[in-house]
Structure 1
Amino acid sequence: MRLVTYNLNGIRARLPRLLEYLAREAPDIVCLQELKCADDALPIGDIEAAGYQAVWHGQKGFNGVAILAKGTQPTLRQIGLPGDPDDAHSRYIEAEIDGLIVASIYLPNGNPIGTEKFDYKLKWMERLDARAAELLAAERPTVLAGDYNVIPEDRDTFSRRAMAGDALFQPESQAAYRRLVNQGWTDALRALHPDEAKLFTFWDYQAGAWARDAGFRIDHLLCSPQAADRLRSADVHKWARGEEKASDHAPVCIELS
């Protein structure tokens, strides 16, 4: 089973790239983020024509998450995270596919630091932490996949200096990510590439970042112990970032036996 996380940066703008990716890689499950599209405008027909069924949690103009499954309909388990009744952002969706529990996550960016946006990011991570603990307690194969908007370590960025003032690289963000992983989750990409430098998943559109390979790692797939036991590979599909009018993220793919 091949499971992918992919921040599209707009599903309507990147639909040709998504369909190209599905045709070339044929993943079994795809967790999408940053759809930037309301539910009533989603290109559901194009996705179904490509052989995938999906559950969606869209939002006009920003955010938005989905889970696609090849040849089968995902069973929706949960939309959104409890703990903040005023939070209307579409950032979390959870489903079950062939016995595997999967969540697609678009964690808040949090910039600029020192504002309510950064506070919202940290509080959202606390809510995710609570849900993740519940999922771990169920002792089932589970993958939390998505754009976490957290650079976990110094080696996960092209430049500590460039990111020093960014919410993605703050000690508070990194500590919250560590607390989540330390519940008992396996960071699949880093676990299978423990010593690899430039293990990046995002390259900004500006300043020639892609050409300079000036990226950082913010797209993560966290596996429960039951899923980690089945983990066979984890790779960044950089070719997709190099396509015309591509997302600024590359898809990240893991394989479970």
Structure 2
Amino acid sequence: MKIASYNVNGINGRLEVLLKWLKEANPDVVCLQELKAENHKFPKLAIENAGYHAIWHGQKSWNGVAILSKTEIKQLHNDLPGTDDEFTHSRYLEAFTNGVVIACVYLPNGNPFPGPKFNYKLRWMKRLQEHADSLVNKDLPVIFAGDFNVMPTELDTYKPEKYVENALFRPETREAFKTLVAQGWTDAARTLHPDKRIYTFWDYFRNAYGRDAGLRIDFFLLNKNIAPRLQHFEVDKHVRGWKATSDHAPIWITLADQ
């Protein structure tokens, strides 16, 4: 089974890019982030014509997450469990499909640091930790996939000294991510490529893609039940070089049959 994640940075504005990539990569399941579209503006027909069922949780101009699958999808959550109204920002979607619980994550950016956006980011990560802790030891396969807006180590950025005061690289953010993974989650990319510089994002400015001045901020985290099935991790870096494309590249994993 092939599972992918892609921050599309505006699904309608980049629909042609998304459909081209779906046809080329042919994933079984896809998590999408940063739809930037209200629910009624999600391109349902185009996605169905591409061969996918879809569920989504949109928001005007910002955020938004979706899960696509070649088989039927049962939605489980469209927000992180809890009672804090500030978390209704279209950043989390959880579903069951292909025999796997898939959680699509679009974690807050948190900049500028310091400030209320950074505080909100840490609160959001705390709430994610609490929910993830209830899933990591489940006797069923669970995967968190998406844009986590964190660079866990210096290996995950082309120039660590540039990001010392950036919310994505702050010690508080990195520690929160470390705490999450330490629950027992498997970071697919780092598990298969422990010493490799892997980037999933290149800024639009200063020819970042051409210089390979990238960041790794998109992840797959696998719970204990499904981690032994992990076979392969890849970044479709070439998609970042396409015309009118996102500043992220799609990432994907393959899993052995159960």
- Please report the TM-score for the alignment, with normalisation by the length of structure 1: 0.98
What is the number of equivalent residue pairs in this alignment?
255
3-state DSSP class of the match of 1:169?
A: coil
Residue identity in the other structure for 2:149: N
How far the C-alpha of 1:40 sits from its partner, in A, is 0.4
How far the C-alpha of 1:225 sits from its partner, in A, is 1.3
Matched, 1:211 2:216: no
Residue identity in the other structure for 1:253: W
Identity of aligned residues (%): 49
**Superposition pairs of residues 176-215 of structure 1, within 5 angstroms:** 176-197=176-197, 199-215=198-214
**Superposition pairs of residues 242-257 of structure 1, within 5 angstroms:** 242-257=241-256
Inter-partner Cα distance in structure 2 for 1:208 and 1:164: 21
Residue identity in the other structure for 1:142: V
Inter-partner Cα distance in structure 2 for 1:16 and 1:79: 26
Residue identity in the other structure for 1:216: L
Inter-partner Cα distance in structure 1 for 2:140 and 2:228: 11
Residue identity in the other structure for 1:133: D
Give every structure 1 segment of 4 or more consecutive aligned residues whose post-TM-superposition deviation is greater than 3 Å.
none
Q: Contact 2:140 / 2:225 at 8 angstroms: preserved in 1? A: yes
**What's the RMSD between the two structures over aligned residues?**
0.8
How far the C-alpha of 1:87 sits from its partner, in A, is 2.6
How far the C-alpha of 1:160 sits from its partner, in A, is 1.0
- Please report the TM-score for the alignment, with normalisation by the length of structure 2: 0.97
Residue identity in the other structure for 2:28: D
Inter-partner Cα distance in structure 2 for 1:28 and 1:149: 25
Structure 1 residues not aligned, in runs of 5+: none
Residue identity in the other structure for 2:39: D
Residue identity in the other structure for 1:65: V
**Superposition pairs of residues 1-257 of structure 1, within 5 angstroms:** 1-70=1-70, 72-83=71-82, 84-197=84-197, 199-257=198-256
How far the C-alpha of 1:82 sits from its partner, in A, is 2.7
